[in-house]
Chains A and B, each alone.
Chain A
């Protein structure tokens, strides 16, 4: 296969990690909650999935069941973390930034403690090819497009459809823009905030599992999940709070991020080692530029949800 095409598919596959992370974060932010715990949640999602796979990886269960149980494990752990966040910020009205950062500290730490106890041969080597269906075993980067990759695309598209084309989505956005008004028209603010945070966390958790089991499929992969969590939060801005835009945005991020290691392999492009960090800096610089430009243009639909970061207390409105 052409190396450029190979590179593009690789970037697309890498981008799916961010699709999960930022789609999850968008759903949470649309309910008015800035969840800085996403990096921790992604780590815990990965750890949860691997923990389950570690128990069943060598069993005689059909591959389909193993994959499903792995995904459910990731969802369960990630949603448990999301539940802690939701309980503290929605019910106990705690500061969202502080809660999120604590969750990241906790989640990243716990996932490392869990991952070092697992057996790579069982959770990774024996299950990797199940996750890489239908292209498992190919030698080119097409093998990276597995079950979880296609699920990521589907999740992003469905989330966009729900957010912008259904009544539920309208209600959710109303909660994020002005919970007082939403409450007044009879929308159950607490329920929407909880559901958005839990579902968003579950989706983000799958990103961690995908990165560890499918995209990297290596023993040390879990160590870099945190960094991708932060990049996912950046991508939310880049995608202007639209889940379907994360598909494009994540591919761009994926290209920018792997460009550094890729172009050193292309003989006719002369780059020094020093360019690589600068290329890796680009996604963040681009995000900052998008943030600045969208705030200068000040178009309503490109702004963060109006009540982002604020707790809602009915008796204070």
Chain B
């Protein structure tokens, strides 16, 4: 990097240039190779961290087999895998419109959490007093509104004064966390600060308790794909993301787009919160979103902000998560192991993007070659 320019200076050993394009096959080949390398590195890390493997190294086969077993060995695990993937995907989808316009919404965690809180608040105060179908609708409205509110506050300041949205949305997560603990203290005066499962406000079962959630998220994926790629709003989002100046030049009101998109993004996080509240947990804790607001950022980015591709990336993360959960159970390791595994694999995928975006040229022997490139 520090080569001096001027006559007689040698061409640097490595020289990078941005690729104009890359064939999808090659790009996926690189990503696939990265995932394999990542899993290999996980195996190495496992030898360092898991005593049972150190004692009997032949169990490494079991280690890798657990990734399959964690999600597919029983139908209960499979449904759990599908449901958790759906909820993670829902949060990732919610964040995607914001990311497409280069608005770094790191507040998915808080927007989801207030969604859960809003839904549960309605169920807590009105549960049993009004018909169940009305309750479920009101819960949905409350979840969407609170999520949208949490998303639009940073957006308003960003649109008006250019306030840094990454840091603002990040802080809103913690305001949400303590808002939840505030309400828990009010609702549960005994001091145990655990609300327990509510009796009312549970989504109806379709085949089993998971299928409805999955169907809703599938519909959302298709809807968002169309919204982002085939509507005027989606186009405006892309233009604002590509270049604010272009947007201003062709008459797009960039502030309006930012505020509108963040209302959508927050509301969809609220929807995820609703699915968690009415579909799965029926209660609220400070961990209701469980870090998925952050994981969703990774899922969305890995999926190139493309809703269809994000189905795969969400499934990959959930597969690693449940697989590593199985490993920590089988091998008796701390239950934080999934985070280590996901982290390692993601490092490799993140690194691999470089080889997709950039071309590496090594210095060739002979001046002719380099002279030829310099002209080009």
Q: Chain A interface (Cβ within 8 Å of chain B)?
A: 34, 36, 84, 87-88, 92-95, 97-99, 101-110, 112-114, 116, 188-190, 230-231, 233-234, 237, 272-274, 276-278, 280-281, 284-285, 287-288, 291-292, 295-296, 298, 304, 309, 313-316
Contacts and interface: CB of A to CB of B under 8 A. Distances in A.
Given A291-B164, A316-B18, A105 B182 contact: no
A34 B334 contact: no
Contacts, number: 156
A101 B298 contact: yes
Contacts of A116: 334
Contacts of A113: 49, 333-334, 336-337, 340
- What are the 3 A-B residue pairs with the smallest beta carbon separation, nearest first? A106-B343, A109-B339, A112-B336
B338 A109 contact: yes
Interface in B197-221: none
Size class of the B contact interface (CB-based, 8 Å): 35 or more
A112 B346 CA distance: 19
Chief secondary structure at chain B's binding surface: helix
B133 interface: no
Nearest to A89: B350
Contacts of B337: 109, 113
Contacts of A189: 1
Given A287-B171, A304-B164, A110 B340 contact: yes
Contacts of A313: 16, 18
A284 B353 CA distance: 34
B354 A108 contact: no
B179 interface: yes
A98 B301 contact: yes
B351 A92 contact: yes
A285 B18 CA distance: 42
16 contacts: A87-B351, A94-B354, A95-B350, A105-B343, A106-B346, A109-B339, A109-B340, A112-B334, A113-B336, A114-B49, A188-B2, A231-B174, A233-B170, A234-B174, A277-B178, A277-B179
Nearest to A283: B174
Best-buried of A113, A190, A284 by chain B (most CB within 10 Å): A113
Given A88-B351, A188-B2, A273-B191, A281 B171 contact: no
B351 A281 contact: no
Contacts of B49: 110, 113-114
B72 interface: no
A284 B297 contact: no
Contacts of B18: 313, 315-316
Best-buried of B17, B175, B297, B340 by chain A (most CB within 10 Å): B340
B175 A88 contact: no
Nearest to A101: B294
B179 A94 contact: no
Contacts of B79: none
B36 interface: no
B2 A315 contact: no
Contact of B106 (A87, A97, A108, A273): A97
Contacts of B333: 113
